Chains A and B, each alone.
Chain A
Amino acid sequence: MTEAAAPTPTTPAPTTPAPMTPAVVVDHVTKHFRLYHERNQHLKSTLLRGRRAQYEEFYALRDVDLTVPEGTTFGLIGENGSGKSTLLKCMARILRPDEGHIDVKGKVSALLELGAGFHPELSGRENVHLNGSILGLGKKQIAAKFDEIVEFAGLERFIDTPVKNYSSGMYVRLGFSVAINVEPDVLLVDEVLAVGDESFQRKCNEKFADLKAAKKTVVVVSHGLSSIRSLCDQVAWLKDGTLHAIGPAGDVVDQYIDEVHPDRQQVSGSGTRWGSGEARVDRIELVDGDGHPTAKVRTGERVTFRFHYVMTEPIPRPVFGMAVHTLDGQHVTGPNTREADCVPERLEGEGHVDLVVPVLMLLPGTYDVSTAITDYATLHQFDFRHRTFRFDVEPGQPKESYGGVVSLGGLWQIHSLDGER
């Protein structure tokens, strides 16, 4: 057995650093709510019936037991009503568990709703002070952070305007800026990442990367599996209020996708586009080994990226190119026809150009494709479409579960001098 798919050196060991300090300990937490059959908050009913109202106990969390290691980004996934938001609210102390308890080490800040507590009639400045103190900052801390908060939100000019005159984007940006600058030890985030325009989103993602680099603990609840996969170290999957699975992000998300299997919609046309337009890529398709268009492929499969082009006039020596990015913006690859020495002398009308990938080496994750048609010098752009197509890669062969973007496709070999077989 010298050449085989040997087991990966670290079998079940966690990917976290060895001296694991818990940041959040969720100790056998159960939380139930009362579902009232008739909502009756009156003394009369209490006195007459000897109880407040008829209700049914609904268990949002049942005996959930988990530990979030310090300095990691931890994801909570699950379908609607699985209890992930309830768990997050329990961690934030907004809700109290009925049984068990939760210990959080250090200062907690929760991004459940941005700008909660803003008073519409007060100015941005007054609201920063107000919101900062709600989130637990002292007067001096707010004063020290004030400029940074305003700058991050990009609201220097409007800071003395009442927030009721803010656009919803400005409102949310200010709320996010205050919350993120509280510098918590543990940050709890509930699906608020999908706010603001693209540039603000990028700022937010950078801020999260900073937090991660600063070894702060982040707990994220999200439906966005791709962001969970790229952002989180570990993921817990909640199902009907119980802990269904917990482990490295990739593994748990893959399990979840396999079970829930939402057929991904083709995301297209959302990115920016520019160019002179004589030649255009109308559509890009991902074609699987059987020749069917898809948006979900597996590592190791044969796939084809198909560019459907339209040229309104003859274009001499056009160059087709594409780029693949991860969702957090990492550039994975950028092949083009010029470097591959596959440039026609002249092209006109409609047709398609294929990039055939015999063995897809991308590891599981979600990726975006940008496309371009340029002249031979790659100086003039006829059509550039940024992030025009998004696809998922699911686990296949080679199987690698410890993160990363591409597989090297290497083969393990063991050469033992003891002649052990």
Chain B
Amino acid sequence: MRVLEDDVVAKADGGRRPARPALLAATIGSVREMWESRNLLANLTLRELRGKYKRSLLGWAWSLVNPLATMLIFAVVFGVFLKVKVPPGDPSGLDVFALFLLCGILPWNLVANGMTGAMGTMLANSNLIKKVYFPRQVLIAANVASSVVAFLIEMGVLAVALLLAGNFVLPWLLPVIALMALQFVFVLGIGLTLGVLNVYFRDVQHFTGILLQLWFYATPVVYPVSVVPRTAHALGVEVPVRFLYDLNPMVRFVGVYRDLLYDVRAPAAGDLLYLLAVSAVTLLVGLMVFARLEPKLAEEL
């Protein structure tokens, strides 16, 4: 009898177009839908993972080879040629540039892969979107989740390497996993926004390419935070460089990962609160943008 009730509502509304459901209600509905289709999320994630490495000899190993190659290149360019000096782990005392790099590269890769993947997935699945109804946000969630699975494996390998290098990271693994979950939320928020916007404006993917480069260097992946000056003078104005720099959530993410894994110490509560707030807001914005633009996806693709 739900139908009839709705009918009454429509009539009460003058029999015209029913009021647009509040964006917030749509957003909440979107989260509920995602939860209800968790089996779909699991299957789509598996499809991404299986599809990615099918018919390649190394298969899953590629997930490790890529960051290792990046690490090797950076270690040579920044460590050997440019002689970037990083402070040893405090209190761990660890002083291995390669491991320092990996603690930044791996979280960074999640952001980069999550963003590019989320944009690609809507276009790649356009046929599905046009022919079947299902909660479309799950497509993006599955894509980001598949990046997270790769990230998990990479972090597992990194943890072993750190143990071998003498960092007793075992007690910190649970907080690291919690942090990864938080980063998933953050990347999902960005992915939802960019993924759906890219359907309407294909410029988004080109713009994202530039943004990612800029963002990479604004994040302490290949250099320690200590090289960033507190203030700088530009055009006669004192610019609080470090303050602005710290607004970048990736500075905090990488910072906290390094705290936990490289330095082996508890991160600052302020960093955690900041990340919690930023991730929550990012996801909320993502869900709202998605809920707003989703209804016309099938005709815009």
Convert B40-80 into 0s and 1s, putting 1 for each residue whose CB lies closer than 8 angstroms to a CB of A: 10111011001100110000000000000000000000000
How far does the Cβ of B193 sit from chain A's closest Cβ, in whole Å? Answer: 15
How far does the Cβ of A19 sit from chain B's closest Cβ, in whole Å? Answer: 12
- Cross-chain contact B128 with A134 (CB below 8 angstroms): yes
- Cross-chain contact B134 with A134 (CB below 8 angstroms): yes
Residue of B nearest to A46 (CB): B201
Does any Cβ of B come within 8 Å of A87's Cβ? Answer: no
- Cross-chain contact A130 with B201 (CB below 8 angstroms): no
Q: How many residue pairs bridge A and B at CB < 8 Å?
A: 103
Does any Cβ of B come within 8 Å of A348's Cβ? Answer: no
Residue of B nearest to A23 (CB): B3
Q: Which residues of A contact B37 (CB under 8 A)?
A: 133, 136
- Cross-chain contact B201 with A43 (CB below 8 angstroms): yes
Q: Which residues of A contact B298 (CB under 8 A)?
A: 89, 94-95
Does any Cβ of B come within 8 Å of A409's Cβ? Answer: no
Tell me which residues from 184 to 230 in chain B have a Cβ below 8 Å from any Cβ of chain A: 200-203
* Cα–Cα distance between A77 and B46 once the two chains are bound (Å): 40
- Cross-chain contact B51 with A119 (CB below 8 angstroms): yes
A116 touching B202 in the complex, CB below 8 Å, given contacts A25-B3, A94-B298, A134-B40:
no
Does any Cβ of B come within 8 Å of A396's Cβ? Answer: no
- Cross-chain contact B130 with A28 (CB below 8 angstroms): no
A113 touching B18 in the complex, CB below 8 Å, given contacts A89-B298, A95-B299, A130-B44:
no
* Cα–Cα distance between A93 and B127 once the two chains are bound (Å): 15
Residue of B nearest to A70 (CB): B3
Q: Which residues of A contact B2 (CB under 8 A)?
A: 103, 105
Does any Cβ of B come within 8 Å of A315's Cβ? Answer: no
Does any Cβ of A come within 8 Å of B133's Cβ? Answer: yes
Q: How many residues of A contact B (CB 8 A)?
A: 40
A96 touching B296 in the complex, CB below 8 Å, given contacts A27-B7, A122-B47:
yes
* Cα–Cα distance between A139 and B40 once the two chains are bound (Å): 9
Question: Secondary structure of the B side of the interface?
Answer: helix
A105 touching B3 in the complex, CB below 8 Å, given contacts A42-B203, A96-B295:
yes
Does any Cβ of A come within 8 Å of B236's Cβ? Answer: no
Does any Cβ of B come within 8 Å of A22's Cβ? Answer: yes
Residue of B nearest to A126 (CB): B50
- Cross-chain contact B17 with A99 (CB below 8 angstroms): yes
Q: Which residues of A contact B200 (CB under 8 A)?
A: 41
- Cross-chain contact B51 with A100 (CB below 8 angstroms): no
Does any Cβ of B come within 8 Å of A138's Cβ? Answer: yes
* Cα–Cα distance between A41 and B199 once the two chains are bound (Å): 9
- Cross-chain contact B7 with A108 (CB below 8 angstroms): no
Residue of B nearest to A142 (CB): B39
A110: contacting residue among B132, B202, B203, CB under 8 A: B132
Does any Cβ of A come within 8 Å of B233's Cβ? Answer: no
- Cross-chain contact A93 with B128 (CB below 8 angstroms): no
* Cα–Cα distance between A99 and B299 once the two chains are bound (Å): 16
Tell me which residues from 91 to 135 in chain A have a Cβ below 8 Å from any Cβ of chain B: 92-96, 99-101, 103, 105, 108, 110, 112-113, 116-117, 119, 121-122, 126, 129-130, 133-135
Residue of A nearest to B204 (CB): A43
* Cα–Cα distance between A121 and B46 once the two chains are bound (Å): 12
- Cross-chain contact B299 with A33 (CB below 8 angstroms): yes
- Cross-chain contact B50 with A122 (CB below 8 angstroms): yes
- Cross-chain contact B3 with A22 (CB below 8 angstroms): yes
Q: Which residues of A contact B6 (CB under 8 A)?
A: 101, 103
Provide a sorted-by-A list of 15 A–B residue pairs whose CB atoms are within 8 angstroms: A28-B15, A42-B201, A89-B298, A92-B133, A101-B6, A101-B10, A101-B18, A116-B131, A119-B51, A126-B47, A129-B43, A130-B43, A130-B46, A134-B43, A134-B44
New A-B pairs, 5, CB < 8 Å, besides A126-B46, A133-B42: A27-B10, A41-B202, A110-B132, A136-B37, A136-B134
Query: What are the 6 closest A-B residue pairs judged by CB atoms, nearest first?
Result: A116-B131, A96-B295, A93-B133, A133-B40, A121-B54, A113-B131
